[in-house]
Structure 1
């Protein structure tokens, strides 16, 4: 494993590990444990320590339950017990000095996930000369409840505190605090967008990468629905004191019962970011349109195939599609455009593509089209042989991190995914983090999109007509 490197930061001295020219420091507190008197409070400063703190293992994971059912066989989880969940992990090249920095924010629908997953190993970025950092944040009820007497968007506030830690402490690891790229996928992409929508956080971000991230925050009343229903199920008021009196596991079990049988487009409401004067004054989808920060943003061709297994898609009738269209305010001419763009697709597949585009691709396209500064758009189109996932949500992660050999990546991509595509995609991300230019033309009026498939091509965005018809 090599020598044990040491780094001194504002709260004390850390001992990490070194392997193959890369130093690694894990489980470093960026805020105090959010339990006890800190529960449902804004993130508090971490306590300093005496002596040398061991930073060779990931810190505890935020309270959460594993993914249920079929999706749980595709997306793994890690559980590390303990309360010190607000930690940061750093991979840094030996001898780094003024290196570009990336801060990774994991996804998981705001109620699952952890930076400790092996697929999020930062080695490939550090090997390319980048100081890579990742953080944990509060999830589910602990991080995104709307409670009387409690601040809004606690998980977002955690991410903002993590970003501030990186800006303050990363020079000790050889990183340049003025060259920070924030990168996130799915809910982590949504948090990345939310950080860009905050004046204080945006000032610390040089560039950003949003992978399959929802861009819209909700009015407080809508974001509160999940908390209000959960409080009724628990027979307590939706207040800080009442929720703080319950152990985290009781909140998790109640949420499991609440969410049983739900999907991304139906059933019990999910956790969402709330528009809030103090923590998120504007919805990201509006704020990003005037943003001058360089942005790399994109989606996967068949995002929906992770959320809806083939049997669920087969059960979607024309009547169900019609009802979904009405609920989402999708005009009939949009459905007709999608059927023309996807000849031979079944009704369930048309529903899935509409869901993908309403939730992810259309908002990303609008931001890219309106932003005044360089914005680079990608579409990940390589089709996995696993369970007819095709180019499903989260499939690109093993390629971006160049971790296709990891068992976690192979759950989605299988054992024979194209390594050259991973190397190409990882190199493009590295180039953007380092220079602000990933290697293909900006989106602008031509709508140029880099498509990652068996062949990598720069093409005008596909299915433009259907996207433009969506609400």
Structure 2
């Protein structure tokens, strides 16, 4: 029997409007209790590991909390994920599965269960099952750096995207922080050589599951796109450089998450030594017996706790600050994929794009005002004057601060001090890395498409006269065509049109590697001669080498 979404959808495929017929749904017994709830009529399908029961959600079929690998606690901690354990009977797949162990208090999925060390589950949204469909498969890697987040967050619910654009959407949970990226290869030997990439190996296991099972959900295992925002974009960069992932995906998209380099084995080993010291353990093998909650508590103390206290041997070799640094920075106490020579043989995009992904098309970009996200809880920043900006810049950048501020005052003569600060921090954290990856990848055969997200969120920033603008993570709901779910994107004019444009560009790229959207400009392929960039907004436009003088400075800056 073929189950499908029973409505009629008009969508954009390869530049042409196509009517996709579906059968009518029977009346539902009751309305959803929350927007993303999976409701009747329920249905069963059989995958390689057993039967599952899903249902309907927001115009699509939804199957949630499906195990894609086995348990990774106890003896399997810090190892590659084992195969999924088959089950008998029918497994319920109408609710989200457990997110990875992480600091409490974040906003994830609606009615999501408690965190768990055993978290290797995924969610699938599709227009139809068992219909022989060959739909593009869009595999989303959630943000939250490498320490937080979930594949069940409501703004990345895949229902609307699947129903509107006739695609299959998959979102996964995987190991995070210490459980996903603690490198023990030097301390516990070859059996743990890939321990610094367990979170990435989980993603590979999910891709293998997709290859084996996605046809049941109407998806094409030969047309899979991996994409993600922030930490999810960084994970995508790492996946592109992993030999075990090659052939399991065919396109990639990086949203505000450029990661050029991973963690070195030396830094990873130093982090492991600090973990042992913080726990008062001398035998690394005892890490397998420590309760997961105790390991998480140590991780949550961060650079101010034991992880920020260098071991004596390391301190002797590396005088100065013991730890710190942001996403993907090679410093002890940081969590990110480790360049272990096995799972991740080399840095993803330094000094070149990974050769094994030369034929993988890439869509990449960042938001215009990323940094508002990171300073939104500091009202004083938005009231700073030029002296305050200069002091902050010297603290963060050092001796180059004066030259950078002078450049930005020249290129943005009407900007206030906070606006200059936002622009500088955005370029340092996201813009420069995005351009570097686009430049390197454009030297390979597969096409590259670069964008800048410009839609201005009207969400007010508390205790200031600012709005969020095009800040970090405000584009997630637009990509998923979930603009009506309240979040950082706000509720401003033109939001629906901007979301239609962005979701159409992403889904058409997933379909045929050419991003298109009805009523919006044709998107030129990126190269270093023209640097064509799509400015995504209510009315999109193409700009050649936007902010070129600033871009040239950052590319020549030795601190990059």
TM-score, length basis structure 1: 0.89
Counterpart of 2:457 in 1: which secondary structure? coil
Which residue of structure 2 aligns with residue 354 of structure 1? 424
SS in 1 for 2:240: helix
Question: Structure 2 residue aligned with 1:203, among 226, 247, 264?
Answer: 247
How far is 1:350 from its partner?
3.8
Of 161-170 and 252-261, deviating more is 252-261
Report the more deviating stretch, 448-457 or 304-313: 304-313
Contact 2:204 2:245 in 1 (8 A): yes
How far apart are 1:246 and its partner, in Å?
Answer: 2.2
Say whether 1:364 aligns with 2:438: no
> Which residue pairs with 1:321 in the alignment?
393
Alignment correspondent of 1:105: 141
- CA apart distance, 1:13: 1.4
Is the contact between residue 226 and residue 268 of structure 1 (CA under 8 Å) also seen in structure 2? yes
Give, in whole Å, the separation in 1 of the partners of 2:420 and 2:265: 32
Report the counterpart of residue 404 of structure 1 in structure 2: 483
Q: What's the secondary structure of 2:427's corresponding residue?
A: helix
Listed one character per residue, the Cα deviations across residues 186-230 of structure 1 (whole Å, up to 9, x for unaligned) are: 111111111111123132211111101131213222345554444
> Can you give the 5+ residue segments of structure 1 that lack an aligned partner in the other structure?
none
CA displacement at 1:322 relative to structure 2 = 2.1
Is this contact kept in 2: 1:226–1:271, CA < 8 A?
no
CA 187–208 in structure 1, closer or farther in 2 if over 3 Å, else same: same
Query: 2:74–2:289: 8 Å Cα contact kept in structure 1?
Result: no
Offset, 1:324: 2.2
RMSD (Å) for aligned C-alpha atoms: 2.7
Q: Does 1:161 align with 2:161?
A: no
1:212 to 247, 256, 259: 256
Partner of 2:288: 244
CA spacing shift, 1:76–1:19, aligned 2, 3 Å: closer
Match of residue 436, structure 1, among 510, 513, 521: 513
Of 62, 75, 84, the match for 2:100: 62
For residue 353 of structure 2, the aligned residue among 281, 285, 288 is 288
The alpha carbon displacement at 1:231 in A equals: 4.0
Residue in structure 2 matching 1:233, options 254, 269, 278: 278
Answer yes or no: is 1:419 the counterpart of 2:463: no
CA distance in 1, matches of 2:292, 2:408: 44
Q: What are the Cα deviations for residues 322-361 of structure 1, in whole angstroms up to 9, with x where unaligned?
A: 24223xx857544432332233445555444333223322
Q: Quick one: which of 113, 116, 119 aligns to 1:80?
A: 113
Task: Please point out which of 513, 518, 543 is paired with 1:459.
Answer: 543
Residue 390 of structure 1 pairs with residue 469 of structure 2 = yes
Return closer, same or farther for 1:115/1:390 CA change in 2, 3 Å cut-off: same
Task: Pick closer, same or farther for the CA change 1:197–1:91 going to 2, 3 Å.
Answer: same
CA radius of gyration, larger in: 2
Counterparts of 1:248 and 1:343 in 2: how far apart (Å)?
A: 52
Q: Conserved in 2, the CA contact under 8 Å of 1:143 and 1:153?
A: yes
Cα-to-partner distance string for 1:380-401 (whole Å, 9 max, x where unaligned): 1122222132211101001111
The equivalent residue for 2:11 is none
Q: Is the 8 A contact 2:394 2:401 kept in 1?
A: no
Q: Taking structure 1 as reference, are residues 360 and 87 closer, same or farther at Cα in structure 2, changes over 3 Å only? A: same
Mean Cα displacement is larger for which, 285-294 or 380-389? 285-294
TM-aligned CA deviation for residue 161 of structure 1 = 0.9
Judge conservation of contact 2:137–2:169 (CA < 8 Å) in 1. yes
Deviation at 1:155, TM superposition (A): 0.5
* Residue 221 of structure 1: aligned partner: 266
Which position in structure 2 is the counterpart of 1:301?
368
Distance 1:35 1:342, change over 3 A: same
Q: Deviations over 1:82-119 (max 9, x none)?
A: 55410111111123511111111101011110011111
Q: Name which of 28, 33, 47 aligns with 1:9.
A: 47
| Corresponding position of 1:255 | 299
Q: Residue 390 of structure 2 contacts residue 401 of structure 2 at CA under 8 Å; is this kept in 1? A: no
Distance 1:240 1:13 in 2: 40
Distance in 2, matches of 1:430 and 1:144, equals: 31
Q: What per-residue deviation string (whole Å, max 9, x for no partner) do you get for residues 46-77 of structure 1?
A: 1011122111111111111136xxxx6xx556
What secondary structure, in the 3-state scheme, does the structure 2 residue paired with 1:465 have?
helix
For residues 332 and 225 of structure 2, the distance between their equivalents in structure 1, rounded to whole angstroms, comes to: 34
